[in-house]
Amino acid sequence: MTFEGVAVAMVTPFTANDEIDEEGFRENINFLIDNGIDGLLAAGTTGESATITVDEQRKLIDILVDEVDGRATTIAGAGSNSSKEALNLVQHSEDAGADYALVITPYYNKPQAHGLVEHYRAINDSSDIPIILYNVPSRTGTDMDVETILKIANFENVVAIKEANPDLSKTSTLQKGIYDNNLEDEFVILSGNDDLTVPMMSIGAKGVVSVVGNVDPLRTSKMVHSFLDGDIETATNLHFELYDLMKVLFCESNPVPTKFALNTMNKPAGHVRLPLGELTDTNQIKVKNVLKDLKLI
């Protein structure tokens, strides 16, 4: 069961008391579904997975599945630098009824290629939930090479990769490997960078796990679905229409600008947890100007 379209890597809204804002999280879920988003990811990097507790991670997954109630695809952020912890989170995701588990490459410990293969083999063999790999070397210090990805892609439950390495040559090599190994019906590439979604789709990617979709879900959805429907001109025009937003949401560490944008739009977001700090004054002005240009405020 592969995924195509737009999945939004949701922010985790916090209350003033630094607890998960469950009501706000549910509100955001409905806002995204109402604006054409195909899938919702809870407890990913944009959801501050590095600073939420494991119990909070499980809670977010449970809320997501409950609130979506079959109206969209649910993706559970279930990675860890500990294989044992990742395995437990994947099993929780399956038990909760999520459609997919997103499993990031283990961070900090920088596993070898054969260690990555065995990490994902253990997760694959421990559950039946479809698994989306997540390669984001700028965050983890590990970049899965194409040969390793293709080995893991042959595992029964592994169905996609969120590829956040911006090297389009690597994406081309990976897509060629997918074709050469007759895996195109079993394993797909999803963009992990909003500003590369249209370029990656031009060489075979099937969609995006998006940050920008938190802020402008309607245009993000239309961009991707226009491309999937063969309307490349509309998709390209929307790419450039959204381009300034795509860039400004990464003017500081994700999800700092995104949470500021949502708060400015009166959407539930709240603060970011330390060690992330609030958006600087200069960048607040930049984000507001882009939101005004797009008529989002």
Given 100, 134, 259, 267, which residue is catalytic?
134
Alpha carbon separation from 199 to 13, 54, 190, 224 (Å, rounded): 31, 35, 12, 11
Is 176 a catalytic site residue? no
| Helical pair 232-248 and 281-293, crossing angle rounded to 10 deg | 160
The number of CA neighbours under 13 Å toward the Cβ of 129 is 31
Given 100, 120, 151, 162, which residue is catalytic?
162
Structure tokens that stand for 9 in this block: 């890597």
- 284 class by beta-carbon count within 10 Å (0-12 exposed, 13-18 middle, 19+ buried): middle
Helix/strand/coil (H/E/C) assignment for every residue in 60-106: HHHHHHHHHCCCCEEEEECCCCCHHHHHHHHHHHHHHCCCEEEEECC
287 C-beta neighbours (distance < 10 Å), count: 23
Q: What DSSP state is assigned to residue 242?
A: H
Is 162 a catalytic site residue? yes
CB contact set of 132 (below 8 Å; sequence gap of 6+): 3, 75, 100, 101, 102, 103, 159, 160, 161, 162, 190, 209
* 231 three-state secondary structure: coil
91 C-beta neighbours (distance < 10 Å), count: 16
Distance in angstroms between the alpha carbons of the first and the last residue of the chain: 38
Structure tokens that stand for 27 in this block: 């509100």
* Of residues 115, 113, 138, the one with CA closest to residue 45: 138
Q: Which residues are catalytic?
A: 134, 162
